[in-house]
Amino acid sequence: MKEYLEKALKEINLELNEKQLSQFEQYYDLLISWNEKINLTAITDPEEVAKKHFADSLSLIKVLSLNEIESVIDVGTGAGFPGIPLKIAFPHLKITLLDSLNKRIQYLGEVNDNLALSDVVLIHGRAETIARDHDHRERYDLCVSRAVAGLSSLSELCTPFVKVGGVFAPYKSEKAEEELSEAGNALNLLGCEVRKVEKFSLFDQVRCIPVIKKVRNTDDKYPRREGIPGKRPL
């Protein structure tokens, strides 16, 4: 894993120290062993995991300066992507990992303990409900999310977590511009503006991460109740 990861990280101009590389190795071992018990990922080959999960999660550094960010929430983190790679590479981050599947949260608890991470909060729940909780609403500098929903519904799930002045950075594919134009109304209703759209190719795939700034408080009526943002996007 270590050699594959170092090679993959060259693509995004990132170097990690020995401790961080060994944390990624431990993370990979746990991913593979838990994947036999619960469904975490279809990608298991070490080179592919290094590229498509680890380096892809870290490709956010092409778009944002993580050193200037303190608190992050990863909505629909699944097996911990992109949240855990971001935490390993930028240990100063206070990171909250949210997922609606409890087994994935239990697995992330073991990852957290084994890698001896600090300032990681794990939450089992749906974004629609947790975003209404005073302790999480408009509390984060940054909200990230990868492979969870189309941008219109995802914006309703994610932007209520972001404080005014903070950023929502969804990991999207080459269809990002299309999704952004469809989500224009939703982003406006939620108090957000698109500031830039970074598109780059990474390991023969197109990755696009728009930087969406929260400019006003989100109205209390958002997010709507569980399931509605997905069924009836704004």
Binding interface with ligand SAM (CB under 6 A) = 76-79, 81, 98-101, 104, 126-128, 146-148, 157
SS3 152: helix
Least separation in angstroms between residue 98's CB and ligand SAM is 5
Nearer to ligand SAM, 84 or 180 (CB): 84
Single-letter residue type at 119: D
Cβ contact 56:11 at 8 Å: no
Nearer to ligand SAM, 16 or 127 (CB): 127
Could you give the C-alpha distances from 83 to 4, 62, 94, 178, 210, in angstroms and in order? 20, 16, 10, 26, 17
Distance, in Å, from the CA atom of 110 to the CA atom of 38, rounded to the nearest integer, reads 14
Least separation in angstroms between residue 18's CB and ligand SAM is 26
Least separation in angstroms between residue 142's CB and ligand SAM is 15
Least separation in angstroms between residue 127's CB and ligand SAM is 4
Nearer to ligand SAM, 146 or 207 (CB): 146
Nearer to ligand SAM, 18 or 48 (CB): 48
DSSP string, 47-64: HHIIIIIIIHHHGGGGT-
